[in-house]
């Protein structure tokens, strides 16, 4: 059973279970227990699994470790510590591992200094960076507490000798569970844990630490796996929060761009000046760089006191920034996502979110980085730069203050991750398929794995798609389909597993700079290859014109007012969550109704805690849109207009980006099929556009209405994705994870360009030989369920079918205010006619006509 | 249309040029999968059956008395891989039962001799027929009219909404004919970007008037490089 912990133990009750040395040390150092400690320590002591969510500065680490350290000290006193691992700590970040090591060593040192205890409690870190010498040391004398990452855990599971030291682990602590549960690293870890536990006689206690996330019960199930109990301690609400939305200017429409950025940096500077240390979050790495650059160059006293921190910077640079933050040497640090997780960065008294964080959960995690102590207030300011952002953030802030979080999405049955573990399992021993299936299904993300999927995967891993003579080469495992047994094949499986395990794909290779050498972002190689001078494309929410290419980089100029001419199918942007989108839809209806009756300003100021000018800006924006139509939770709006020789069908479907990614392609596919044309799509959080040349026929209103049908949505989406660059790109990731493309093989490392080329060849071949090839099946699943949100797209369309939501279609001469962003900076892609021969004939005709016109 | 006559030459949508009773194809790259596999990309065997079918179609339709493979019959530069050896043997066996075969040496064709000898198939650097020179094209070639391979020419098309396709194509002029690659896995040089051309002969003699014939469902005439460049 998964339930919330209800017993809050007193100091005395907790002290009574502690050994005297720890009791005295704790009394002297802290005096009293913090709330998470009161709920957790005793329960862990009693052998219960527990998931803890509590704010920074609430003694989280000791909540998790105290009970285990207590037991270890008891053994140490008696001289009974054995040469094995008692505590396994796993976190997604290497940086966090070092923090934890330090945070454990210090209390132990203090206790050992005070008392005369014979045996030492050994703590060691093991990651990809651990030297061979250190690993040998750990082999000779196993640490009692092992600190590691999910990837290193998967590797030591298969280490012939070291894995034996893992057989009697008593406590497993998973830190930052929320950062793992919603992605494939989490799937990977969940399987590692079940494989680990399978080899143990006694089930270890599982302890999870997580940021606020919803629903906690799902995260708890993820932590403990299927069929185990877990208690949840959620004290994340303990810390007070002061959250406000602010705009740098009074008028977000007509203020010229240069004035807006002038005012923005002025505002940031004022905020930084008034606080001791400010942490600014932007949504992209390029924005991070831009903000640092402008603040440094505008305000000389910030020179040397402001730094960037993001994933593209080298490890040394990041470490030095973290170090300087801790020492209080920096006034401000600007980050994209890298500082969201709990690395120790010292005292932060203000968090600024530049632009919408797109989900309430993320907003709370980011703001939670401020106020180091439990009694302090977390202070957050969301700075908005346009009107869509303003509306979104005003709703988001209210949801955050009221603690309504968006739901987490845990991926299910990822076959590529499973493929790695099957190889790992096969190296270990011979398995009966049913026995293996039982272990796999214990992992929460695989609780419903169909046996036929596993069989198909085994079939593929055994290389059985090849003729008999070639299986030796392709097969990574041996599989007997009749007896349903599998095991190791050959000597290559082990090195392949060691060198290629993991879930994070290599990054794309081509960097994008402006001509004056400012970093903008990255694009995929196949995209860069097909760029032609003058092409305009969207990258990270801005439009750029391609100028020229250089060595592994391309150069562009910003073209903020131009429409994209070439689709860029990758998006660095954070997606707006479905739940928050629903709330904004409701908000739109409320505002519209109130404006009809008079004014909404007073209501907004009161209900949403914003000042008058912000409220007026919202009212103004809605009034303009009311000349067209204000789409909301009960009525959606489809807008048709022509612009620059193209027809636009703009669907105002406020259902979050992931659901719009799915819906836009489904509708586009239905249109391409009927009208025999290729279309472009542009997608944002708030809706999408389907775009095609004006000379093609108009699409009648009845047909647009008929698009809203739940029939075959999944199939239509899969058809829309066929042969797209997006599919190929995801396939590369899946093929790498499935060990079909080996990044490391026979001592060679495959470059990203090669990976890309080889994956595209593999894609072609696999598509031709077997549509149900596991890697292909997983690619579609990943796109439909993880990258996109097919379920909510279906749910939304079903509401329309049932008449719960109405559709209004209007022709207009110019785009409505709500569609500006969709048209200008929506992430773009193309959906092609299904009949490729027909399509090529059309393209041929087009080219020949253009050539004729030239004469 | 499926074929286009150009004087004594017939360009076909079967990736071949026919002169009288001679059929010419290029760039099969047999065993490519094996080379990729050694690199760590587990590409299932794929090309062999497709290549056999393509070659069979040419032989069935045109009944050539001589089939010329204009270079890069196989892929691996170094010692023959086991897969390559088997497949080259199988395809040569298949072909020699149907017609006479001549291999022209390409840059990938080292060590081919050993296998070819078994089937008594000659390997030459170039071949001349009625004053038409046939050579792979990775080196300079002398001749009034030359047919080469090597380049894997392809036409990159993009329409108004941004749809993108690559099509294998022939390049044709009075002096130089470039064959498309027969391998279904070959990636091609974009014919509209002369700076990417590989063949020294093409680099030297490529003129804007070269005509482009792409293969899709039949042959599609795409006018000249000069005109294409203006609209693409």
The DSSP result for A493-535, as a single string, is HHHHHHHH--SPPPPP-EEEEETT--EEEEE-HHHHHT--TT-
Mean of all residue pLDDT scores within chain A: 92
Chain B CB contacts of A830 under 8 Å are: 161-164
CB A62 within 8 A of CB A36: no
- Hey, which residues 306-325 in chain A have their CB within 8 Å of chain B? none
In tens, the pLDDT along A159-176 reads 999 999 999 999 999 999
In tens, the pLDDT along A531-561 reads 888 899 888 778 899 999 888 899 999 988 7
Distance (Å) of CA A764 to CA A600, A767, B137: 57, 5, 28
- In the structure encoding, which two tokens stand for residue A708, read together? 């809203």
Higher pLDDT, A257 or A279: A279
Q: Which of A473, A692, A843 is the closest to B37 by Cβ?
A: A473
Nearest to B70 by CA among B117, B129, B137, B122: B137
CB atoms B41 and A758 under 8 Å: yes
CB A539 within 8 A of CB A567: no
CB atoms A761 and B43 under 8 Å: yes
Q: Chain A: nearest CA to B20, how far in angstroms?
A: 30
**Span of A47-61, A289-303, B195-209 with lowest mean pLDDT:** B195-209
Strand ranges (E), A65-161 = 87-90, 123-126, 145-148
Examine the pLDDT at A257 and tell me if it is beyond 80. yes
Check if B163 contacts A (Cβ < 8 Å). yes
Domain total in chain B: 1
Distance (Å) of CA A587 to CA A387, A388, A393, A525, B230: 14, 13, 12, 42, 51
Check if B166 contacts A (Cβ < 8 Å). no
In tens, the pLDDT along A489-539 reads 888 899 999 999 999 888 777 899 999 888 888 888 888 888 888 899 888
What whole-number distance in Å separates Cα of residue A414 and Cα of residue A188? 9
Report ipTM for this prediction: 0.94
Mean pLDDT in residue range A460-484: 84
CB B225 within 8 A of CB B206: yes
Mean pLDDT in residue range A357-376: 88
Check if A672 contacts B (Cβ < 8 Å). no
Kindly report the number of other CB atoms within 10 A of residue A1's CB atom.
6
CB A99 within 8 A of CB A344: yes
Nearest to A144 by CA among A197, A64, A82, A196: A82
For chain B, the first-to-last Cα distance in angstroms comes to 23
- In the structure encoding, which two tokens stand for residue A447, read together? 């609780």
Beta bridge partners of B190: B154
Q: A359-362 — which CB contacts under 8 Å span 24+ positions? A: A359/A406, A359/A574, A359/A576, A359/A577, A359/A580, A360/A396, A360/A399, A360/A400, A360/A404, A360/A405, A360/A406, A360/A577, A360/A579, A360/A580, A361/A178, A361/A211, A361/A212, A361/A213, A361/A214, A361/A405, A361/A406, A361/A408, A361/A577, A362/A574
Check if A740 contacts B (Cβ < 8 Å). yes
In tens, the pLDDT along B48-74 reads 999 999 999 999 999 999 999 999 999
Examine the pLDDT at B78 and tell me if it is beyond 80. no
What whole-number distance in Å separates Cα of residue A737 and Cα of residue A503? 6
Examine the pLDDT at A467 and tell me if it is beyond 80. no
- In the structure encoding, which two tokens stand for residue A685, read together? 């959080």
Higher pLDDT, A741 or A318: A741
Maximal CA-CA distance, chain B? 54
What whole-number distance in Å separates Cα of residue A765 and Cα of residue B175? 36
A182 pLDDT tier (thresholds 50, 70, 90) = very high
Higher pLDDT, A17 or A95: A17
CB atoms A840 and B165 under 8 Å: yes
Q: Which of B44, B185, B214 is the closest to A466 by Cβ?
A: B44
Q: What is the DSSP pairing of strand A635-643 with strand A278-281? A: unpaired
**Mapping DSSP to helix (H, G, I), strand (E, B) and coil, where does residue A770 land?**
coil
Chain B CB contacts of A530 under 8 Å are: 156, 158, 164
Q: Chain B: nearest CA to A196, how far in angstroms?
A: 29
Q: A560-564 — which CB contacts under 8 Å span 24+ positions? A: A560/A257, A561/A824, A562/A536, A563/A536, A563/A643, A563/A644, A563/A823, A563/A824, A564/A536, A564/A537, A564/A538, A564/A682, A564/A828
**Span of A54-63, A106-115, A437-446, B176-185 with lowest mean pLDDT:** A54-63
What whole-number distance in Å separates Cα of residue A583 and Cα of residue A399? 9
Give the per-residue pLDDT at A855.
66
What whole-number distance in Å separates Cα of residue A528 and Cα of residue A510? 7
What's B26's DSSP letter?
A: B
CB atoms B159 and A843 under 8 Å: yes
Kindly report the number of other CB atoms within 10 A of residue A648's CB atom.
23
Which of A256-265, A665-674, A830-839 is modeled with the greatest confidence? A665-674
A799 pLDDT tier (thresholds 50, 70, 90) = very high
In this chain, the answer to whether the domains covering A2-238 and A241-401 adopt an identical fold is yes
* Torsion sign (Cα): A24, A27, A30, A35: positive
Give the per-residue pLDDT at A491.
85
Residue pointed to by tokens 């890298």: A338
* Torsion sign (Cα): A766, A768, A769, A772: positive
Give the per-residue pLDDT at A571.
67
Q: Which of A467, A679, A741 is the closest to B41 by Cβ?
A: A741
Every domain of chain A and the residues it spans: 2-238, 241-401, 510-558, 628-855
CB B25 within 8 A of CB A740: no
The sheet that has B9-12: what strands, in order across it?
A: B3-6, B9-12, B17-19, B22-25, B66-70, B100-104, B123-124
CB atoms A844 and B41 under 8 Å: no
Chain B CB contacts of A748 under 8 Å are: 39-40
Chain A CB contacts of B187 under 8 Å are: 757
Give the distance from CA A829 to its chain's centroid.
21
B79 pLDDT tier (thresholds 50, 70, 90) = low
CATH of domain A241-401: 3.40.50.300
Nearest to A295 by CA among A306, A310, A286: A306
Mean pLDDT in residue range B26-34: 93
Check if B41 contacts A (Cβ < 8 Å). yes
Name the CATH architecture for the domain at A2-238. Answer: 3-Layer(aba) Sandwich (3.40)
CATH number at residue B192: 3.60.21
What whole-number distance in Å separates Cα of residue A750 and Cα of residue A736? 11
What whole-number distance in Å separates Cα of residue A97 and Cα of residue A176? 11
Kindly report the number of other CB atoms within 10 A of residue B66's CB atom.
16
CB B14 within 8 A of CB B51: no
Nearest to B221 by CA among B175, B171, B149, B187: B171
Examine the pLDDT at A1 and tell me if it is beyond 80. yes
Q: What is the DSSP pairing of strand A2-4 with strand A230-234? A: parallel
Check if A593 contacts B (Cβ < 8 Å). no
Beta bridge partners of A333: A279, A307
In tens, the pLDDT along A196-211 reads 999 999 999 999 999 8
Give the per-residue pLDDT at B218.
93
Give the per-residue pLDDT at A574.
87
Nearest to B178 by CA among B159, B157, B204, B217: B204
For chain A, the first-to-last Cα distance in angstroms comes to 78
What whole-number distance in Å separates Cα of residue B44 and Cα of residue A229? 45
Domain range for residue B43? 3-231
Q: Chain B: nearest CA to A494, how far in angstroms?
A: 15
Residue pointed to by tokens 């600014």: A280
Give the per-residue pLDDT at A337.
83
What's A736's DSSP letter?
A: H
Check if A375 contacts B (Cβ < 8 Å). no
For residue A214, report the phi and psi dihedrals to the nearest 5 degrees.
Answer: -130, 140
Angle at B183 between CA B181 and CA B186, to 5 degrees: 75
Q: Which of A646, A759, A843 is the closest to B165 by Cβ?
A: A843
In tens, the pLDDT along A380-429 reads 999 999 999 999 999 999 999 998 999 999 999 999 999 999 999 999 99
What whole-number distance in Å separates Cα of residue A2 and Cα of residue A470? 49
In tens, the pLDDT along B147-163 reads 999 999 999 998 888 88
Distance (Å) of CA B191 to CA A631, A717, A852, B139, B220: 48, 33, 20, 19, 15
Beta bridge partners of B167: B155
In tens, the pLDDT along A616-660 reads 999 999 999 999 999 999 999 999 999 889 999 999 999 999 999
């Amino acid at each position: 059973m998964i339930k919330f912990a209800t017993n809050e133990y007193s100091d005395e009750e907790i002290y009574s279970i502690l050994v005297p040395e720890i009791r005295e040390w704790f009394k002297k150092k802290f005096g009293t227990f913090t709330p998470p400690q009161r709920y957790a320590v005793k329960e862990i002591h009693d052998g219960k699994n527990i998931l803890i969510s509590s704010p920074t500065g609430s003694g989280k680490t000791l909540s998790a470790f105290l009970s285990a350290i207590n037991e270890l000290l008891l053994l140490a006193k008696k001289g009974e510590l054995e040469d094995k691992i008692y505590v396994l700590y796993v976190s997604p970040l290497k940086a966090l591992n070092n923090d934890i090591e330090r945070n454990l060593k210090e209390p132990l040192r203090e206790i050992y200094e005070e008392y005369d205890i014979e045996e030492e409690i050994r703590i060691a870190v093991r990651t990809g960076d651990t030297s061979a010498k250190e690993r040998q040391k750990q082999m000779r004398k196993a640490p009692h507490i092992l600190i590691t990452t999910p990837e290193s855990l998967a590797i030591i599971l298969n280490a012939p000798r070291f894995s034996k030291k893992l057989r009697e682990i008593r406590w497993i602590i998973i830190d930052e569970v929320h950062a793992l549960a919603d992605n494939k690293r989490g799937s990977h870890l969940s399987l590692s844990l079940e494989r680990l536990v399978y080899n143990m006689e006694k089930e270890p206690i599982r302890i999870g630490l997580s940021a606020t996330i919803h629903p906690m019960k799902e995260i708890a199930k993820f932590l403990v796996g299927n069929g185990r109990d877990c208690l949840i301690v959620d004290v994340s609400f303990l810390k007070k929060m002061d959250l406000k939305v602010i705009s740098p200017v009074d008028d977000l429409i007509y203020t010229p761009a240069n004035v807006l950025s002038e005012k923005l940096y002025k505002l940031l500077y004022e905020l930084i000046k008034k606080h001791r240390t400010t942490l600014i979050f932007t949504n992209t790495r390029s924005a991070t760089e831009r903000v640092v650059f402008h603040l440094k160059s505008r305000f000389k006293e910030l020179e040397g006191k402001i730094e960037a921190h993001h994933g593209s910077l080298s490890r040394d640079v990041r470490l030095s920034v973290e170090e300087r933050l801790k020492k209080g040497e920096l006034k401000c640090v600007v980050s994209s996502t890298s500082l969201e997780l709990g690395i120790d960065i010292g005292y932060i008294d203000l968090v600024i979110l530049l632009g919408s964080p797109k989900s309430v959960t993320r907003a709370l995690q980011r703001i939670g980085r401020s106020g180091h102590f439990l009694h302090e207030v977390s202070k957050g300011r969301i700075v908005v730069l346009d009107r869509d952002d303003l509306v979104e953030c005003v709703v988001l802030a209210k949801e955050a203050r009221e603690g309504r979080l968006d739901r987490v999405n845990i991926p299910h049955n990822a076959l590529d991750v499973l493929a790695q573990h099957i190889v790992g399992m096969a190296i270990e021993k011979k398995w009966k398929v049913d026995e293996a299936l039982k272990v796999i299904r214990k992992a929460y993300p695989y609780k419903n794995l169909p046996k036929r999927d596993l069989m198909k995967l085994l079939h593929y891993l055994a290389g059985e798609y090849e003729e008999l003579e070639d299986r030796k080469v392709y097969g990574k495992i041996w599989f007997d389909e009749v007896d349903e047994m599998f095991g190791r094949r050959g000597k290559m499986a082990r090195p392949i597993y060691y060198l290629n395990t993991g879930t994070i794909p290599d990054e794309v290779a081509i960097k994008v700079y402006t001509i004056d050498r400012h970093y903008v972002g990255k694009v995929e190689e196949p995209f860069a290859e097909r760029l032609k001078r003058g092409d305009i494309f969207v990258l990270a929410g801005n439009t750029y014109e391609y100028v020229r290419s250089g060595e592994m980089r391309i150069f562009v100029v910003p073209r903020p007012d131009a429409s994209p001419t070439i689709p860029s199918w990758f998006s660095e942007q954070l997606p707006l969550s479905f739940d928050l989108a629903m709330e904004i839809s409701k908000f739109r209806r409320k505002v519209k109704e109130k404006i009809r009756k008079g004014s909404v300003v007073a209501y907004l100021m009161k209900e949403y805690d914003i000042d008058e000018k912000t409220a007026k800006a919202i009212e103004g924006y809605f009034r303009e849109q009311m000349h067209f139509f204000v789409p909301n939770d009960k009525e959606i709006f489809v807008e048709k207009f022509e612009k620059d020789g193209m027809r636009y069908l703009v669907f105002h479907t406020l259902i979050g980006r992931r659901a719009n990614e799915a819906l836009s392609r489904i509708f586009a596919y239905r249109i391409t099929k009927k009208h025999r044309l290729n279309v472009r799509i542009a997608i944002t959080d708030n809706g999408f556009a389907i775009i095609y040349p004006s000379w093609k026929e108009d699409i009648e209103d009845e047909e647009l209405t008929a698009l809203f049908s739940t029939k075959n949505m999944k199939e239509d989406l899969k058809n829309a994705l066929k042969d797209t660059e997006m599919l190929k790109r995801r396939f590369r990731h899946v093929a790498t994870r499935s060990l079909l493309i080996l990044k490391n093989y026979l001592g060679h490392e495959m470059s990203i360009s090669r990976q890309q080329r080889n994956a595209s060849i593999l894609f072609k071949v696999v598509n031709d030989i077997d549509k149900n090839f596991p890697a292909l099946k997983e690619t579609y699943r990943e796109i439909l369920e993880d990258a996109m949100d097919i379920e909510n797209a279906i749910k939304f369309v079903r509401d329309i079918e049932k008449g719960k939501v109405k559709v209004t279609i209007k022709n207009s001469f110019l785009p409505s205010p709500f569609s500006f962003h969709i048209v200008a900076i929506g992430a773009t892609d193309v959906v092609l006619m299904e009949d490729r021969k027909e399509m090529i004939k059309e393209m041929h005709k087009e080219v020949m006509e253009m050539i004729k016109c030239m004469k | 249309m499926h074929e286009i006559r150009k004087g004594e030459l017939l360009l076909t949508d079967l990736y071949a040029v026919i002169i009288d009773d001679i059929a010419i194809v290029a760039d099969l790259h047999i065993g490519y999968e094996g080379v990729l596999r050694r690199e760590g990309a587990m590409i299932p065997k794929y090309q062999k059956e497709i290549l056999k079918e393509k070659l069979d179609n040419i032989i069935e339709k045109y009944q050539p008395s001589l089939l010329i493979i204009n270079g890069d019959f196989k892929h691996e530069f170094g010692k023959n891989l086991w897969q390559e050896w088997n497949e080259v043997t199988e395809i040569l066996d298949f072909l020699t039962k149907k017609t006479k075969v001549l291999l022209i040496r390409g840059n990938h064709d080292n060590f081919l001799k050993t296998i070819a000898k078994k089937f008594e198939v000659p390997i030459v650097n170039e071949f001349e027929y009625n004053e038409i020179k046939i050579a792979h094209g990775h080196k300079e070639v002398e001749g009034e009219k030359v047919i080469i391979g090597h380049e894997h020419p392809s036409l990159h098309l993009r329409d108004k909404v941004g749809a993108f396709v690559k099509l294998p194509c022939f390049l044709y002029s009075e002096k130089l004919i470039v064959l498309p690659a027969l391998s279904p896995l070959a990636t091609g040089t974009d014919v509209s970007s002369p700076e990417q051309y590989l063949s020294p002969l093409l680099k030297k003699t490529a003129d804007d008037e070269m005509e482009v014939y792409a293969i899709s469902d039949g042959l599609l005439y795409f006018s000249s490089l000069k005109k294409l460049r203006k609209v693409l």
